[in-house]
Structure 1
């Protein structure tokens, strides 16, 4: 099992100064993660979602991290792949360039882009995003697998002008035939789609361990039964990556409160953009009982789901996922127990979410250190014993 971190670049009360600082803080965390034994770091892509995510050009953040590290894998994911966000051949070029700069350490994930706000900013047609993401993955893998290529798909035709040299992506990635591909999967149907396409699943883990187990079962069963006609490449990547929100400190109560407060900001900020809340959240909840607030909110959302007032997801737990705080918030022992359950489920990579908008930098660094000195070595020792 591998251990990674993910960065949203969240800011509770944004100013240009705080925006700059969160980038440098995140770089510091990523470099420290390599020192502490983490296997990878991932950076999302969002556009115009103030508070929730200021990571609008993750390839620049990741290139900076790559230059300051030597071992840790660089997760470019998930890239918004509808064509108006990022044209497929441009994704292939930039990702290959990042693979070269990192000396072959790139993972590449795809996403549809989660909000109407982002779609409006980039003139994206929300009704086309699923089809465009799938065709983009096919184009990228095809462009990487051959020196010269042309493409004739359902949505795009790409070929050189008459009499000219064939199309070619430069540079070529170091990893051959191409870096591992993933798909951001926030709901069970997307998890199944990941398996059909032969790409890794980056799953939303806020709904809790039972939800992770359910989605893992769906993914593995589909991998075992797929017929292969939907694969986007002749090289498959069947890795199941699960989000793990975590704050780890010597004081379990303090860690739980900081985690609950951070996740409240996370949930309320994406709720503002995705569901149309009245106003964005702030960092002003520091003196509130955020644990009680989150528990009550999760119960309220579950009840609303039961009354049919929310989208009827295939899992009830998804309705209250943003407000479920039963994660790795606590001591080292809390984190080890939580990851033990993820290991039992069969998760291939644990994706630690630490940088939430209200979590101080010193707490992020302390959590990374706790994982690096205690949690990760615990599971490395288990792997060594099994070997």
Structure 2
């Protein structure tokens, strides 16, 4: 099983100064993730989603991280593939350049970026996003496997052109699709590419999603494959904060997830601005339940059915607590069919100290539990073993109530 960290660059109180600091903090976390034995980082792409995601240029972020690291894989999780966001030929050029310069460490995920806020910025046709994503993946697969790209599709017509440079990985970096519904899971399986799965609903939901993905894999004939190579990797989101003080970790993690969920509700569901306040002594689990009830009430008010996934982002039962708590939760995700645990640590109200300590705890205690040998016992050549002291627990306790 693989382990990764995903970055949204979320922040409460999004001043220019805090925005700049959060992005620098994400780089610091990514570099530490390599030192602590994580296999991969992922960076999202979103546009104009204040609070929720300030990661608008992941190709730059990932390049910066690649230059500061040597072994960790560098993942686009995901590129917004509708053509008005990113022309597929340009995606192929940029990803190949990064793959070459990073020594063959790139993974490339595709997604729609389908909020009205984003599509209105770049003039994207919302009705064509799904179709454009699939055609973009076909173009990219061709671009990396032919001497010259030539594509005559339903949406784009491209005469013969060489796409330069060629990636280091042969025939190309692994391809993925962002998946949150059964339809996208079946699409990913049919195209022969990996699935990046939202995991907020918990292990039982992940098990159902894995079944849907595997069923589609068993039924596919290969005629829709976008490449000559198939990637069936199933990566699952895992919100997590891990500290020595499990109660502090749960309080920080659940508060951060509530900000995350409310930010999604604001941009995807028309809810109000996310609550930025961190209240000393608050029962964060109870606050999460109240926030979920508010979503349900709003749906009822507008006569919208409350489906099981409507409040999934408010489910607080994740890898929050001590390292032992995280191990137990990861075991459930593994048993549900996860090939990769994609840690969501950097959430809007989570302090940097808690993010860094969580990465350390995963590297020292959680990941080694699932490895044949602890990674930290064997530092890479010329790479000093991590020698960064853990923050004082009292600092984390203060941050949790700040």
TM above 0.5: yes
Partner of 2:46: 46
Are positions 1:264 and 2:258 aligned together? yes
Moved more, 302-311 or 104-113: 302-311
Contact residue 368 and residue 374 of structure 2 kept, 8 A: no
> Using the alignment, how far apart are the partners of 2:84 and 2:242 within structure 1?
40
Q: Deviations over 1:90-135 (max 9, x none)?
A: 1001111111121100000000003100000111010010000000
SS of alignment partner, residue 175 of structure 1: coil
Name 2:206's counterpart in structure 1: 212
Residue 139 (structure 1) aligns with: 139
Q: How does 1:145-294 map to 2 (within 5 A)?
A: 145-159=145-159, 166-285=160-279, 287-294=281-288
TM-score by length of 2: 0.89
Structure 2 CA distance for partners of 1:176 and 1:311, relative to 1, 3 Å: farther
* Separation in 1, partners of 2:305, 2:128: 21
2:326 to 311, 323, 335: 335
Cα drift, residue 280 of structure 1: 3.7
Instruction: Compute the displacement of 1:299 (Å).
Output: 5.6
Q: Is the 8 A contact 1:13 1:283 kept in 2?
A: no
Task: Tell me the matched-pair count.
Answer: 375
CA-to-aligned-CA distance 1:255-283 (integer Å, 9 cap, x gap): 11111100000011111111112334324
Report the Cα distance in structure 2 between the residues aligned to 1:286 and 1:55, rounded to whole angstroms: 29
Structure 2: distance between partners of 1:305 and 1:336: 36
User: What is the DSSP-based 3-state SS (H/G/I as helix, E as strand, rest coil) of the residue aligned with 1:215?
Assistant: helix
Aligned partners of 1:205 and 1:76: how far apart in 2? Answer: 18
Distance 1:340 1:292, change over 3 A: same
C-alpha contact (below 8 Å) 1:45/1:55 kept by paired residues: yes
Please show how residues 93-104 of structure 1 align to structure 2 within 5 Å.
93-104=93-104
Distance in 2 of aligned mates of 1:311 and 1:235: 40
Structure 2 Cα separation of the partners of residues 306 and 226 of structure 1: 39
Give the C-alpha shift of residue 89 in structure 1.
0.4
Instruction: Give unmatched runs, 5+ long, in structure 2.
Output: 376-402
Matches within 5 A, 1:56-95: 56-95=56-95
Secondary structure of residue in 1 paired with 2:77? strand
Distance 1:240 1:252, change over 3 A: same
Q: Structure 1 segments of 4 or more deviating over 4 A?
A: 284-287, 299-309
- Per-residue CA deviations over 1:49-83 (Å, capped at 9, x if unaligned) read 01100000001000010001110000012100000
Separation of aligned partners in 2, 1:169 and 1:358: 42
Q: CA deviation at 1:202?
A: 0.3
Give the 3-state SS of the residue equivalent to 2:227 in structure 1: coil
Deviation at 1:284, TM superposition (A): 4.2
The RMSD of aligned alpha carbons is 1.9
CA distance in 2, matches of 1:97, 1:377: 33
Q: Secondary structure at the match of 2:52?
A: coil
Give deviations 1:118-174, integer Å, cap 9, x for gaps.
000111010010000000000000010112121100100001xxxxxx401111100
CA distance in 2, matches of 1:63, 1:27: 11
Give the superposition deviation at 1:298.
3.6
Counterpart of 1:108? 108
